[in-house]
Amino acid sequence: EVQLVESGGGLVQPGRSMKLSCAASGFTFNNYDMAWVCQAPKKGLEWVATISYDGSSTYYRDSVKGRFTISRDNAKSTLYLQMDSLRSEDTATYYCARRLRRVYDYWGQGVMVTVSS
Amino acid sequence: DIQMTQSPASLSASLGETVTIECLASEDIYSNLAWYQQKPGKSPQLLIYYANSLNDGVPSRFSGSGSGTQYSLKINSLQSEDVSIYFCQQNYDSPWTFGGGTKLELK
């Protein structure tokens, strides 16, 4: 059974950093591109970043470029999102998702990030 | 960026009814369209990809159609477990964008 389990969320002050992790199991992690997708409270979904199966390529939405870094450790089957210079508008639930045929076929349960002083 | 506009924003229907949700793209996305279902308090789940391909395990009462800029999700014989928010997503061009969602409730 495919499982994606996020961790590392919580309350953080504006301008500070936070690192999210996503532990994957039930599939061959290094065969798949992975992504982070966020959902602000009571709002829609927004793609954040994607990383290729081998970590050689990364892609970001404009609003997080230069502030967020997506990475992966295939030996540990774990995906990461390093979030720096956080802003109040980054407040959201962050989902880790497996990418297949350019859609997201499995999602984690999500982790809440609240940016507030 | 490609804008995805869903309609209606909310919908109330009775058990056994057929409902249709629409998604309009701001440009031709060549059937690169997915639908997701998000049940209350849960993470999204993939229903349909490439506009009309049903994901594994998704009941056959769900179907997708459309081309160009106009797409739709149809749910036949509405069940209580279908109460959810439904999102469309274009996967034609980055940034990959989602519609605003359609909240489906029971009448």
Cβ(B104)–Cβ(B19) below 8 Å: yes
Predicted confidence band at A43 (pLDDT cuts at 50, 70, 90)? confident
Which residues on chain B are in Cβ contact (under 8 Å) with A61? 95
Most B CBs within 10 Å, among A43, A61, A93, A103, to test the B interface: A103
Predicted confidence band at B56 (pLDDT cuts at 50, 70, 90)? very high
Cβ(A106)–Cβ(A25) below 8 Å: no
Which residues on chain B are in Cβ contact (under 8 Å) with A107? 43-45
- β-strand B4-7 against A33-39: which pairing, if any? unpaired
pLDDT at A19 over 90: yes
Query: Per-residue pLDDT averaged across A104-114, rounded?
Result: 97
pLDDT at A101 over 90: no
The Cα B105–Cα B83 span in angstroms is 5
Structure tokens at A110: 């999500």
Q: Which residue of B has its CA nearest to A40?
A: B100
Return the closest-CA partner of residue A80 out of A90, A92, A69, A91: A69
List, as ranges, residues 36-95 from A with C-beta within 8 Å of B.
44-47, 59, 61-62, 95
pLDDT at residue A82, rounded to an integer: 98
Q: Which residue of A has its CA nearest to B44?
A: A107
On average, the pLDDT of chain B sits at 97
Who among B50, B55, B87 is closest to A105 (CB)?
B55
Q: Which residue of A has its CA nearest to B40?
A: A42
Query: Per-residue pLDDT averaged across A83-100, rounded?
Result: 97
pLDDT in tens, B6-28: 999 999 999 999 999 999 999 99
The Cα A74–Cα A95 span in angstroms is 19
Q: How many angstroms separate the first and last alpha carbons of chain B?
A: 36
